[in-house]
């Protein structure tokens, strides 16, 4: 009995394993605890192992690869069609084992420790930014109940709220003034946390040649560049720049049939965080171009023909393809670069 393919349904403490031989016959159906995983697979002959790209998947992928196994991670939505009956751990492990052997399956590259560490900084910063926005909205909402309106924009909170607290003419209760001061202090602490994490991300960006290379592209700064480098990893895992743009959800959805092509809105698939960064960067480029009367570029012509939101997505799509070209071919960004065409 030689196991050639294994599917693992990952969990926190109990893992379900399903293995088949070269003829596709199930020869292994086993449940393992977390402390039994390493001992079991280190004694198993090298084989193909499939897992869903979920929590701890990259950790186990690196660990199993170090034991000589070939590890493939798959998006959960691609595994679901292979579940035959009701959902349970055994059925999920069997479906993963079936899906990993499909010749046209799409796989997720296993991230290394450094990539995960940088992305952890981004996720933590994103959480603090959301908490900061929520805290600012709470302060604005509470003051609005007393007829005190603070203009939109988080910068107005730090400028206007201290004046409102000190103003004795607004008849605010003393306990409420103390509450707003406490919330304002919390907002400042969140802002400090965001700045500290941004400093760490900028430090990593300065130490990475690839990240500094991507930051030369208009619309891509240190935050976006570092997130792209950490998320994409080896750009050669993608067939081309268009696949990267589709991976980020920057292409239209399709609903075509009968030879008639019907393109819908943006697909919004993939990493929402990366897509948001690229689109916001594109908006800043569009704003700068609109301030120049002599601007004559590709994006200005798109803005003149289409809506600015459409132009922002188009530029984000273009930047995603440029990023792939720079990483896959080890090139430096050249704003005047023109693709050469073959002469027949």
Phi and psi at 216, nearest 5°, equal -75, -15
What is the structure's pLDDT at 344? 44
What is the structure's pLDDT at 295? 62
What is the structure's pLDDT at 179? 95
The model's pTM is 0.86
Whether the CB-CB separation of 194 and 129 falls below 8 Å is answered with yes
Q: How far apart are CA 41 and CA 34, in angstroms?
A: 12
- Sole residue written with tokens 């690229």: 278
Q: How far apart are CA 53 and CA 110, in angstroms?
A: 9
Whether the CB-CB separation of 286 and 240 falls below 8 Å is answered with no
**Averaged pLDDT, groups of 10, the chain, 344 residues long:** 91 93 91 93 93 92 94 93 90 94 90 93 96 95 91 89 87 91 95 96 95 93 95 88 91 84 83 93 90 72 88 93 93 77 49
- Sole residue written with tokens 């600015």: 308
DSSP state of 21: -
Phi and psi at 53, nearest 5°, equal -80, 85
3-class SS letters over 113-143: HHHHHHHHHHHHHHHHHHHHHHHHHHHHHHH
What is the structure's pLDDT at 169? 82
What is the structure's pLDDT at 293? 58
What is the structure's pLDDT at 31? 94
Whether the CB-CB separation of 27 and 18 falls below 8 Å is answered with no
Own/partner contacts of 88-92, CB < 8 Å, gap of 24 or more, are: 89/9, 89/11, 89/14, 89/16, 89/31, 90/9, 90/16, 90/18, 90/29, 92/9, 92/16
Own/partner contacts of 57-64, CB < 8 Å, gap of 24 or more, are: 57/10, 58/110, 58/111, 58/116, 60/8, 60/10, 61/110, 62/110, 62/112, 62/113, 63/38
């Amino acid at each position: 009995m030689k196991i050639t393919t294994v599917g693992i349904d990952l969990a926190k403490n109990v893992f379900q394993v399903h293995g088949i031989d070269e003829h596709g016959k199930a020869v292994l159906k086993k449940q393992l605890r977390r402390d039994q995983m390493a001992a079991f697979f280190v004694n198993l002959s090298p084989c193909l192992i499939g897992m869903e790209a979920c929590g701890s998947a990259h950790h186990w992928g690196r660990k199993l690869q170090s034991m000589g196994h070939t590890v493939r991670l798959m998006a959960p939505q691609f595994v679901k069609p292979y579940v035959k009956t009701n959902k349970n751990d055994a059925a999920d492990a069997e479906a993963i084992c079936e899906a990993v052997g499909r010749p046209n399956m799409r796989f997720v590259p296993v991230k290394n420790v450094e990539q995960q560490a940088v992305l952890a900084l981004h996720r933590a910063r994103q959480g603090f930014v959301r908490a900061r926005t929520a805290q600012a909205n709470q302060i604005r909402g509470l003051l609005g109940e007393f007829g005190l309106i603070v203009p939109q924009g988080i910068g107005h909170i730090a400028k206007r709220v201290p004046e409102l607290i000190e103003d004795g003419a607004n008849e605010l209760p003393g306990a409420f003034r103390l509450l707003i001061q406490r919330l304002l202090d919390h907002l400042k602490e969140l802002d400090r946390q965001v700045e500290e994490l941004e400093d760490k991300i900028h430090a990593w960006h300065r130490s990475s040649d690839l990240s500094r290379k991507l930051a030369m592209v208009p619309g891509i700064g240190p935050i976006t560049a570092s997130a792209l480098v950490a998320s994409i990893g080896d750009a050669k895992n993608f067939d081309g720049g268009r696949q990267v743009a589709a991976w980020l959800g920057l292409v239209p959805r399709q609903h075509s049939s009968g030879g008639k092509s019907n393109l819908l809105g943006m697909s919004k698939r993939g990493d929402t965080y990366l897509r948001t960064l690229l689109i916001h960067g594109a908006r800043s480029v569009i704003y700068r171009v609109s301030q120049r009367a002599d601007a004559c570029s590709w994006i200005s012509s798109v803005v003149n023909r289409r809506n600015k939101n459409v132009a922002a997505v188009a530029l984000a799509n273009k930047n995603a393809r440029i990023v792939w070209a720079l990483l896959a071919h080890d090139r430096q960004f050249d704003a005047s670069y023109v693709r050469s065409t073959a002469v027949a």
